[in-house]
């Protein structure tokens, strides 16, 4: 397969990956009852939309010009605090853990989605021969890494109490 066609296929798959994340985070935003959770899931969905727009631009550029130049100066910051003990849900959320089955499942699925995205982008960066495209995929992998850190931090913060509330003892 020609390099251009292969790259376009990779970018199409990346757009699909981002759309999957977008759809999931929109569902999580709709279903959670925690106000901060709604805000953060909406932000995650917006990030995935931003990624899709970048990737659609990349696709068009490759299709039309056969090239792409990554603008590292784009302002693509978001509201996640990956250092926070509870970066997704409000502190009060922990008191309602006995009713948080969807949210705990959403965290687990989100972790899997982000890990898969990171792996996808790292592999795409490794395979890319164009330095700008490699930078873009590395950038997206790093951004998805921020999402992953926030989800894992939240999961760790809640997990033991959730297991206790659910009377689940894995050992």
| 170 domain residue, yes or no | no
> How far, in Å, CA of 84 to CA of 82, rounded?
6
| 46 domain residue, yes or no | yes
- Put simply, whether the predicted model's pTM sits higher than 0.75 gets the answer yes
pLDDT band at 86 (very low <50, low <70, confident <90, very high): confident
Q: Is 50 helix (H, G, I), strand (E, B) or coil?
A: helix
| 171 domain residue, yes or no | no
| 78 domain residue, yes or no | no
Q: Are 44 and 79 in contact (CB under 8 A)?
A: no
Rg (CA), the chain: 18
CA torsion 23→155→135→71, rounded to 10°?
Answer: 60
pLDDT band at 1 (very low <50, low <70, confident <90, very high): very low
Task: Determine the average pLDDT of the residues in 61-89.
Answer: 72
Q: Are 77 and 142 in contact (CB under 8 A)?
A: no
pLDDT band at 7 (very low <50, low <70, confident <90, very high): confident
| 120 domain residue, yes or no | yes
User: What's the pLDDT at 58?
Assistant: 87
Residue by residue, DSSP assigns 79-136 as S--TTSSSSSS-GGGGGGGGG-HHHHHHHHHHHHHHHHHHHHHHHHHHH--SHHHHHH
Domain that holds residue 22: 3-69+86-164
User: What's the pLDDT at 29?
Assistant: 96
| 116 domain residue, yes or no | yes
User: What's the pLDDT at 76?
Assistant: 54
> How far, in Å, CA of 130 to CA of 97, rounded?
47
Task: Determine the average pLDDT of the residues in 52-62.
Answer: 90
pLDDT, tens digit, for every residue of 111-159?
999 999 999 999 999 998 888 888 889 988 998 999 999 999 999 988 8
Q: Which residue has the higher pLDDT, 25 or 79?
A: 25
The CATH number of the domain where 12 resides is what?
Answer: 1.20.1260.10
Total number of domains constituting the chain: 1
| 60 domain residue, yes or no | yes
| 76 domain residue, yes or no | no
């Amino acid at each position: 397969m020609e390099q251009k066609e292969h790259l376009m296929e990779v970018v199409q798959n990346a757009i699909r990956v981002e759309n999957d994340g977008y759809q999931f985070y929109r569902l999580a935003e709709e279903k959670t009852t925690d106000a901060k959770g709604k805000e953060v899931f909406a932000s995650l969905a917006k990030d995935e939309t931003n990624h899709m727009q970048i990737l659609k631009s990349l696709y068009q550029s490759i299709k039309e010009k056969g090239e792409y130049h990554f603008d590292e100066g784009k302002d693509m910051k978001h509201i996640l605090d990956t250092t926070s003990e509870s970066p997704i849900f409000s502190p009060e959320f922990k008191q309602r853990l006995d009713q948080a089955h969807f949210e705990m499942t959403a965290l687990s699925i989100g972790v899997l989605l982000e890990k898969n995205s990171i792996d996808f982008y790292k592999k795409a960066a490794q395979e890319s021969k164009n330095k700008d495209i490699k930078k873009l995929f590395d950038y997206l992998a790093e951004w998805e890494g921020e999402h992953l850190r926030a989800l894992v931090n939240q999961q760790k913060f809640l997990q033991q109490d959730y297991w206790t509330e659910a009377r689940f003892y894995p050992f």
